[in-house]
Amino acid sequence: MDRTDDSLIALRRILRATELYGRDLARDAGLTAVQLRVLQIVAERGSCHPSDVASQMGVSQATISVLIKKLVSYGLIARQISATDRRQVDLSITSAGREKVAVAPDALQQKYVAQFEGLPEWEQAMVVSVLERVAGMLDAGDIDAAPVLAVGEITRHNGAGQGAPTSERERSADVPEDQADQRKAS
Partner DNA sequence: CACCATAGTTCAAGTTGCAAAGTAATTTTC
Partner DNA sequence: GAAAATTACTTTGCAACTTGAACTATGGTG
Binding string, 21-60, against a second copy, x = CB under 8 A? x-xx--xx-----------------------------x--
Considering only residues 129 through 158, tell me which ones interact with DNA, judged by CB under 7 A. 157
Pick the closer one to DNA by CB: 86 or 133: 86
Please identify, among the stretches 2-10, 46-54, 61-69, 80-88, the one whose residues bind a second copy according to the rule CB under 8 A: 2-10
C-alpha to C-alpha distances, 158 to 31, 89, 117, nearest whole angstrom: 20, 32, 14
Residue 152's binding partner, choosing from a second copy, DNA, none, with beta-carbon cut-off 5 to 8 A by kind?
a second copy
Please tell me the distance from the alpha carbon of residue 16 to that of residue 58, in angstroms, as a whole number. Answer: 19
Residue 124 CB, nearest distance to a second copy (Å)?
5
130 binds a second copy (CB under 8 A): yes
* Long-range CB contacts (within 8 A, 24+) of 47-54: 47/90, 47/91, 47/92, 48/90, 48/91, 49/82, 49/88, 49/89, 49/90, 49/91, 50/89, 50/91, 52/146, 53/91
Considering only residues 28 through 87, tell me which ones interact with DNA, judged by CB under 7 A. 32-35, 49-51, 57-70, 79, 85-87
Pick the closer one to a second copy by CB: 87 or 157: 157
Binding string, 97-126, against a second copy, x = CB under 8 A? ---------x-xxxxxx-xxx------xxx
Q: Which residues contact a second copy by CB under 8 A?
A: 1, 3-21, 23-24, 27-28, 58, 106, 108-113, 115-117, 124-128, 130-135, 137-140, 142-143, 148-149, 151-156, 162, 165, 167
